[in-house]
Structure 1
């Protein structure tokens, strides 16, 4: 129903008996059914509710911007398309599927072949037939040109997730019997036209169609309308919300829809208000700062720039580690949302671990953000990665938000709904709404923290892509750690940014170490054709740091240096021979008076080798490890322990080791963890990552002039190892080369050479933050760096890198959607030759990352008596619990096993090893665990360790401990 008008007439009033006989839904179990007219009415009513109460103004504006009467036209168009979307079910190709309902239609003259006789019916899916009917009706009834009808028809054709291709349309044209049965084609046509006429009358668009005839609907608008129709269809297809006939036959359209909407109870649209007051007041009201903390210049300037921009657009914030970029991004996001009409926020992080760390921070912020709704209610939130259910903060919201709505977890489908069990009613201010937890619907939640993959999937040809576009087009997007992605992923990110720019989605990009060329690429991708070469050149040439770059929708691009906060660290850098003896001797010397050292290795194998040596030297209690080869529960405990012992002074003072302690870690120590060490030893790595690692060195002030640190360690010192420094140029260890490749490593060594040798203007000292940007720009620029004797080797490495990046860019194009095309160009074949469904699984992530497929397993133990148990050593009395194999484990026990997920290392990504490993792991198949009630364990591969926590897999010996994680050696 349109707003501010009398209730629209009942859809069925005046329909012929033939039109009433056409069916849309059938339940095989109950033999209940739903006529097409009723599903049309339901879908249109739901679309109206979605527009009025759930879709953000930001999305509405994109849909309406090219329509003659703006938002009112946008609403009418959306409701009309949702109402008509299943018109293709009024065809023999669809109607023949249920014999009893087909017979009822035959009895009134709508003849059709038997289902088994219709050998070509798959060439006429009802979405495609509906598109053909809509186009034909617009041409014959409303004098549209055939070309102009396609931009509207494609929305009908794509409502099952894949817009048709030109070859699909031709195949249907060649089989007209799929649309109308020969011999009674006139009656079929009469019914189809009657239903479409009725849709136009009920939706009150009859007089609009003539005006819409000249409209050129943008591709972003087409995508959003397709997504909206899909959501309306999925809700209207839920029999728990919209019961089937005969039980619901006499219910009024409006009453039926109101009851369903109330039962669904979707959190209504967030309406942010632009925060007033000074930046200091804004931050004080939104975030918890330690007593005496002052607003950093980059935080203050970000708020001021967000307010001064002509309209929200792209903001790239480059600032040192620990400068509060996240808080700045959230403050800017609130301003952008209020000004753009966004209805939520998505925060993209590099990894699941960084996403887990961000989620509670977002929740804390949300609790302080006001709302303009007359009666502010619930806000839907989501942690979007494959292991979100194991996150305690998110799991608590899920438990609190469970509701008595069945069948709503599924993401649509073939029409066969499988209702879930009833759940007790509850509510929460921040809710993980049940309907918004499906793998395709989840991103529709208002506030989402997830991995970068969830954003990159927006650029991937995949089924129901329009839903992801609808989800992201209504939000502000924050991209953290923007430097962390390779050429392959950046290709996807740039394509996504171009679409976000076309949707006018505000975007905030964060990085401490962003190369200038990459800064330009981000600005150019977002601005699209609105950018000009002079502005882009200025973006690349600006050298200030910290730096905030803004891109406005009108194409104005402005890089603005920001004053430094005054936080400064001088780090003394030295080379260290890549020799465990040399490392041990140096650490013994430096830690003689106590202190905490962080040793970062580029590979897990080096982590474990180093830790074993240092334990012999310092004792087991003085050495711990952190890397990615722990099961999820142990990994979470490791992160928590690191924060407790080495976090900010106010959190770690009571737990920080007093004697010497060494943490040997992989690259997991680079990002997001707010940890602070007295001494850093690092393998040679790309300079931006080395600077990130330095961000864990003297990160916080501990006493005046660091007086609370051991005397020897009051000067920040970074020792760089992991290379043979005696060769020209230095030769990185093999593991580092495999991960980072020679070009980035040699460029890093070259820009660090004067610091490591002490020949630079400041001797061995690198000044943070002053030297961050110069080091990064030199390392990633095109200029010559390093001594003359290095240049031949560096040139060869550069050539190899160029070939690699060219290959990555080419590969990334394989399944990438096209750039945004001109208005009126239909989304014909938009996801043709795509990947099917895009899921946050190991295979799904590989679609947007240039990585080999890896294996993930759940790890359990087999005792000597043959009984399976959870892993020993798990904290919280979770270890050593017996597991039944003749039944589904209780949910709590199943969750513990699911929490023992582990991604097997690189050795198992080699194709022949991968295949052998899968074959061996499948021998651990437990039939009882595959039950539909086994939410945590069904479909998972199980790795079974013996009583000593060892096993052999695909020619490798594996050993797991809660202290060191997974150790892998080739079997003898």
Structure 2
């Protein structure tokens, strides 16, 4: 079949009965669409999607499963799209609109009234279509029944959940829902006519006899299901495919106009970069004049070229070595060789995702494309606050499409926009159709939180779309060390599916335990734990590159050191804020910048209060996660402008503080913030995170031999605190144990103890990067560590840790997707007993993170006169805007409120407290803000502060200030 469509056309010689079957009805406008017309529309859209939108890698995977290769694959995709709604040719569906049902009755398709079919819920049209298609293949095409389900399941699952065995069994026991008793022959005749015509028009009549011998791999079934879903959604959009009172329309003008109106950007067609690695980096990234690329970057490019096929690459290198740029260069090579049509970069948090997004856009602006007319690349920022990101909002364009409730027994994906729309670059666009929680990841390029990737391992509705979204991309996973046992269970399962799809993956980490590296490699390769041939993956050495191609021997490469080295003097510091203040006063007596990292926000506030008394408010800055969204963005920008690299500080028009300055921060400074301090004080943390914090110490060269730093701070020093050093076994503070667990902290302390005691062979020095891998491997390895007198305490902590790991694995298994089954096994029950919709909200993240559901509010202020306003300090004219309570606020004010989101702390994660908090917040709800046109505020909880930034909620006193963020204390 040519890309122009089938050689025969609809409706062909369909009888009056077959023509009378309806598929779509607009209750408001009165229009309707016959089933044959929707079948034709869906088939035509699927053909266009296959030819112009689907990445080559996905098309190849489907083609490899079929005897006729690429031609078979396209024919099959179009035919499955044409037949997916055949279940609407049943009395269970048709009875829903009485006037259209009467027309069908007049044509001989008798059916009971809607109210007479109380059991019609047993026959959702997807499942009904699966059974009809199976019967047609058996009775009219001579297929064995066991061969039919792997194809018919695509119709069964096109509303997001493939049916389970019990669903199939129950419908089979109620044949009257498929064909009305007494009119079975007429119903069967109409159904067969529609399916016969679909086979003829789609050109698959001769292929059907061959396909009955095929065993479709489950990954192929998933991708075909997803393609049919996308085709159905587009063909169901009445703005693109209008309904007509009499159901008439003409081909091909109808299809051409719809496709032109959709204006869907095609996939990236990567051009494999040629030349030396240094030339590639110079062409893609802003390198300072005369700068040389790092050895790890050069070797990553060489390994990607040397691998027998695109696969998994693990890049381990110190902080600040340019791992992200290396990953993007590797992604170009992998995409060109695999046919991937885009790239997804997954990061631990929204903040790190926001920081990465402009870097991705910069890279995209320099990418070549093999398409003769590249047009636009679709881009997406994949997290729940994307509509507040200025870089992303600046890319939005297009119109809002109307998706009617057309199927009645299934939920449509209705896009509810939360972003301004304005025309911008024709090269990078956040496309109007590719937005929303289910469709956004289908964009060619995306940056988002790791949750978006982990959702691909969660049994949830429309999971096939998430698989299609990643199956056609190169996936980059940053900060791979940052995830616990629960999240790793999902990550490993997703990697197993990515390996089955042949998706190239690049994993980045500065501090990855060797055992974890092996687990990632085995998961991707589809090998069992401890499989032969993977011992080399646990190789020593640092930096380290690991290349894995399923079915081939893994490869490891040890790049040369870059020459960047920081010797960090480590010391114990008693956990007393007055002692800390004295030490800082001494060390900063000549000026300089110190970073104090605390493991809890409560300790941040306590420390900052003490230091302000000693140094003054203007010399102490606070940073943690309990700030309003806009305040957090401003905080990060302020840190970079004051404490970033000399070049970036100058470019931002900022300056490094004089006279001594202290930043007191939580873990928000650990990752993806390129900040540089003269002195580090840190609570004890797991050793990999402690090393990450050390990476913020003397990160950049400031003068020859750091000569631009104060004299007494030219040697990098890290003071470790948050520990009772006087105990027989040093005791981490309670808050740190609650965050990280005692086992990880004691193991960290055990491997650091020789350095803290000055007996390490290098005295009190931790040498970066030389000591990174030895410390991490020792801390996470199986061998005992620490002095003998610590053994009992460490063994007890280990037992508690292992028990928690078991609990996390069991908990994760509850909704964890199974691994891909053998070819030919249908997706029956694929997401059965799942979570429903995967949800990108604070609560939804608990689906793939071992955390309690948290409560998020939007913060406004109540003036003394009772008027509500946005908080007063917001910049760019957003602060202090008056908010009407009898109407929806103006767009600028509403958006400022939406950008003032705040996550309430752990006190509000307990069921009784969170229920009380929600009840109290709902009593303060402004009803006018709940109107459907209030895209920013409808459905949100609003926390109202008084003029002093205070309120009381669920028995807690709440205080918010611009300088310190949120503080919460139990009310007296």
- TM-score, scaled relative to structure 2: 0.98
Cα deviation for residue 269 of structure 1 reads: 2.0
Partner Cα distance (1:932, 1:46) in 2:
31
Aligned to 2:215: 216
Q: Cα–Cα, structure 1 residues 956 and 488, in superposed 2: closer, same or farther, change >3 Å?
A: same
1:486 correspondence with 2:489: no
Partner Cα distance (2:355, 2:63) in 1:
38
Cα deviation for residue 408 of structure 1 reads: 6.0
1:936 correspondence with 2:933: no
For the 8 Å contact 1:160–1:230, the answer to whether it is kept is: yes
Partner Cα distance (1:712, 1:388) in 2:
44
Cα deviation for residue 918 of structure 1 reads: 1.1
Cα deviation for residue 905 of structure 1 reads: 0.5
For the 8 Å contact 1:313–1:504, the answer to whether it is kept is: yes
Partner Cα distance (1:491, 1:825) in 2:
24
2:365 corresponds, among 353, 367, 371, to: 367
Q: Cα–Cα, structure 1 residues 261 and 322, in superposed 2: closer, same or farther, change >3 Å?
A: same
For the 8 Å contact 2:3–2:47, the answer to whether it is kept is: no
Moved more, 418-427 or 42-51: 418-427
Aligned to 2:401: 406
Q: Cα–Cα, structure 1 residues 427 and 246, in superposed 2: closer, same or farther, change >3 Å?
A: farther
Aligned to 1:68: 67
Cα deviation for residue 247 of structure 1 reads: 7.1
Partner Cα distance (2:411, 2:145) in 1:
31
Which sections of structure 1, spanning at least 5 residues, go unmatched?
none
Partner Cα distance (1:39, 1:216) in 2:
29
SS in 1 for 2:223: helix
Aligned to 1:647: 644
Q: Cα–Cα, structure 1 residues 416 and 905, in superposed 2: closer, same or farther, change >3 Å?
A: closer
Q: Cα–Cα, structure 1 residues 792 and 573, in superposed 2: closer, same or farther, change >3 Å?
A: same
1:620 corresponds, among 617, 620, 624, to: 617
Cα deviation for residue 529 of structure 1 reads: 3.7
Aligned to 1:11: 10
Q: Cα–Cα, structure 1 residues 28 and 46, in superposed 2: closer, same or farther, change >3 Å?
A: same
Cα deviation for residue 912 of structure 1 reads: 1.4
For the 8 Å contact 1:411–1:441, the answer to whether it is kept is: no
Q: Cα–Cα, structure 1 residues 816 and 7, in superposed 2: closer, same or farther, change >3 Å?
A: closer
For the 8 Å contact 1:546–1:561, the answer to whether it is kept is: yes
SS in 2 for 1:436: coil
Cα deviation for residue 942 of structure 1 reads: 0.7
Partner Cα distance (1:427, 1:519) in 2:
40
Cα deviation for residue 530 of structure 1 reads: 8.9
Cα deviation for residue 8 of structure 1 reads: 2.1
Cα deviation for residue 245 of structure 1 reads: 1.6
1:683 correspondence with 2:683: yes
For the 8 Å contact 1:237–1:415, the answer to whether it is kept is: no
Aligned to 2:42: 43
Cα deviation for residue 293 of structure 1 reads: 1.8
Partner Cα distance (2:5, 2:177) in 1:
39
Cα deviation for residue 248 of structure 1 reads: 6.4
Partner Cα distance (1:913, 1:196) in 2:
57
For the 8 Å contact 1:236–1:242, the answer to whether it is kept is: yes
Partner Cα distance (2:339, 2:536) in 1:
30
Deviations 1:794-814 (A, max 9, x none): 000000000000000000000
For the 8 Å contact 2:493–2:523, the answer to whether it is kept is: yes
For the 8 Å contact 2:592–2:659, the answer to whether it is kept is: yes
SS in 2 for 1:663: strand
Aligned to 2:236: 237
For the 8 Å contact 1:544–1:562, the answer to whether it is kept is: no
SS in 2 for 1:68: coil
Aligned to 1:528: 526
Aligned to 2:814: 814
Cα deviation for residue 98 of structure 1 reads: 0.4
Aligned to 1:842: 842
Partner Cα distance (2:501, 2:394) in 1:
34
Partner Cα distance (1:11, 1:907) in 2:
62
Deviations 1:853-912 (A, max 9, x none): 110000111111111111122233322221111111111111100111000011111221
1:592 correspondence with 2:598: no
Cα deviation for residue 423 of structure 1 reads: 7.7
SS in 2 for 1:267: coil
How large is the Cα RMSD of the aligned pairs?
1.7
Partner Cα distance (1:433, 1:515) in 2:
40
Deviations 1:91-138 (A, max 9, x none): 000010000000000001100000010110010011011000111111
Q: Cα–Cα, structure 1 residues 523 and 685, in superposed 2: closer, same or farther, change >3 Å?
A: same
Aligned to 1:858: 858
Partner Cα distance (2:462, 2:735) in 1:
40
Aligned to 1:610: 607
Partner Cα distance (1:703, 1:412) in 2:
68
Partner Cα distance (2:531, 2:837) in 1:
38
Partner Cα distance (2:475, 2:533) in 1:
23
Partner Cα distance (2:22, 2:546) in 1:
56
- TM-score, scaled relative to structure 1: 0.98
For the 8 Å contact 2:572–2:721, the answer to whether it is kept is: yes
Partner Cα distance (1:418, 1:641) in 2:
38
Q: Cα–Cα, structure 1 residues 109 and 411, in superposed 2: closer, same or farther, change >3 Å?
A: closer
1:566 correspondence with 2:576: no
Cα deviation for residue 537 of structure 1 reads: 1.7
1:183 correspondence with 2:182: yes
Partner Cα distance (2:875, 2:628) in 1:
12
Partner Cα distance (2:948, 2:636) in 1:
25
Q: Cα–Cα, structure 1 residues 678 and 247, in superposed 2: closer, same or farther, change >3 Å?
A: farther
Which sections of structure 2, spanning at least 5 residues, go unmatched?
none
Aligned to 1:696: 696
Deviations 1:712-741 (A, max 9, x none): 000000000000011121101110010001
Aligned to 2:910: 910
For the 8 Å contact 2:888–2:931, the answer to whether it is kept is: yes
Cα deviation for residue 569 of structure 1 reads: 0.4
What is the aligned length? 966
Moved more, 219-228 or 911-920: 911-920
Deviations 1:926-968 (A, max 9, x none): 1100111111111111111111110111111111110000111
Moved more, 432-441 or 286-295: 286-295
Q: Cα–Cα, structure 1 residues 5 and 812, in superposed 2: closer, same or farther, change >3 Å?
A: closer
Deviations 1:672-708 (A, max 9, x none): 0000000000000000000000010000000000011
Partner Cα distance (1:571, 1:497) in 2:
36
2:375 corresponds, among 374, 377, 382, to: 377
Partner Cα distance (1:495, 1:964) in 2:
40
Cα deviation for residue 539 of structure 1 reads: 1.0
1:726 correspondence with 2:731: no
For the 8 Å contact 1:380–1:431, the answer to whether it is kept is: yes
Cα deviation for residue 658 of structure 1 reads: 1.6
Aligned pairs (5 A) from 1:449-848: 449-529=447-527, 533-540=531-538, 542-653=539-650, 654-848=654-848
For the 8 Å contact 1:463–1:831, the answer to whether it is kept is: yes
Partner Cα distance (2:822, 2:850) in 1:
31
For the 8 Å contact 1:86–1:126, the answer to whether it is kept is: yes
1:389 correspondence with 2:384: no
Moved more, 561-570 or 475-484: 561-570
Aligned to 2:272: 274
Partner Cα distance (2:482, 2:404) in 1:
33
Aligned to 2:923: 923
Partner Cα distance (1:531, 1:942) in 2:
48
SS in 1 for 2:882: coil
Partner Cα distance (2:138, 2:301) in 1:
52
Aligned to 2:285: 287
SS in 1 for 2:394: helix
1:333 corresponds, among 331, 334, 359, to: 331
SS in 2 for 1:187: helix
For the 8 Å contact 1:312–1:553, the answer to whether it is kept is: no
Partner Cα distance (1:906, 1:499) in 2:
34
For the 8 Å contact 2:526–2:550, the answer to whether it is kept is: no
Moved over 4 A (4+): 4-7, 408-427
Aligned pairs (5 A) from 1:47-62: 47-62=46-61
